[in-house]
Amino acid sequence: MKFKGGACYNFFMIKILVVEDDAGLNMTVCAFLRKNGYDVTGCMHANDAYNAMYNTLFDLIISDVMMPQIDGFEFAETVRKINQTIPIIFMTARDDFTSKQKGFAAGIDDYLVKPVDLDELLLRISAILRRAKISQSKKVTVGSLTLDADAVSAISDGKEIQLTAREFNLIYKLLSYPNKTFTRVQLMDEFWDADSNATPRAVDVYITKIREKLSEAGCFGFEIATVHGLGYKAVVK
């Protein structure tokens, strides 16, 4: 696909949040996951993680349990109140059944006991992401439209749709998470530069252009719906 201005950046790496108050282990896990192709953010405490989640849409969380101020149980419960689907893995020294039971009751998806084998962690991440239908294949097909992030192309019924880099990034993000609402601020944080003078209403302009281009191309099987007062979501029909 030929872009009509603007550089194309790779926004499609799976984003993992690591919450671990042991600085050495935090750095080790983050470095290992980055080496294996993930986009990783490390936080030392739950409050730092909340701030990171406000600015970034993560695909998976790895959290310690025994942390100061807010422990892993409370952190997981809070995350679940605002996001019921994001996978959460506990990585902790607590090996008792009561802690495991409490963790799963809080909404976690997996529980690893330290010392953690990083290769096993990688396998568990892959399995959980597969079950959550979050793929590293970088290709999304919905209805008549296929988006390929590696080839950076948008194809409908064998014909290429000309999109700008930002238009492609926006539609790819929305279609990667059907029925998930993204606020204008979230989309701005991810796809506009920090020093941009644009306001969140710029997202509306881009969504309008995307809708027009998809309509002209005859795309079917989904719609980009407006969530009034919030932002947008892709609805698969």
* Neighbour tally for 33: CB within 10 Å: 22
Instruction: Confirm if 79 and 87 have CB atoms less than 8 A apart.
Output: no
Q: Which residue has the tokens 């290769």?
A: 119
DSSP state of 14: P
| Helix (H), strand (E), coil (C) string for 78-147 | HHHHHCCCCCEEEEECCCCHHHHHHHHHHCCCEEEECCCCHHHHHHHHHHHHHHCCCCCCCEEEECCEEE
Dihedral sign from CA coordinates of 169, 170, 175, 181:
positive
Q: Which two tokens stand for residue 111?
A: 């529980």
Distances (CA, A) of 183 to 17, 135, 193, 214: 20, 23, 17, 21
Whole-structure pTM over 0.85, yes or no?
no
- pLDDT tens for the chain, 237 residues long, are 333 333 333 445 789 999 999 999 999 999 999 999 899 999 999 999 998 887 787 889 999 999 999 999 999 999 988 778 889 999 999 999 999 999 999 999 999 999 999 999 999 999 998 887 665 557 788 889 999 887 789 999 899 999 998 999 999 989 888 888 899 988 988 888 766 788 889 999 999 999 999 999 999 899 999 999 899 999 988
In the chain the domains, ranked by start, together with CATH numbers, are 15-131 (3.40.50.2300), 139-236 (1.10.10.10)
Give the Cα separation of 193 and 133 in Å (integer): 29
List all residues 6 or more positions away from 175 whose beta carbon is below 8 Å from its beta carbon: 140, 142, 145, 147, 222, 234
Q: Using alpha carbons only, what angle is made at residue 191 by residues 189 and 192, rounded to the nearest 5 degrees?
A: 70
Residue with tokens 């749709």: 161
Q: Phi then psi for 154, rounded to 5 degrees?
A: -125, 115
| Cβ atoms of residues 48 and 24 within 8 Å | no
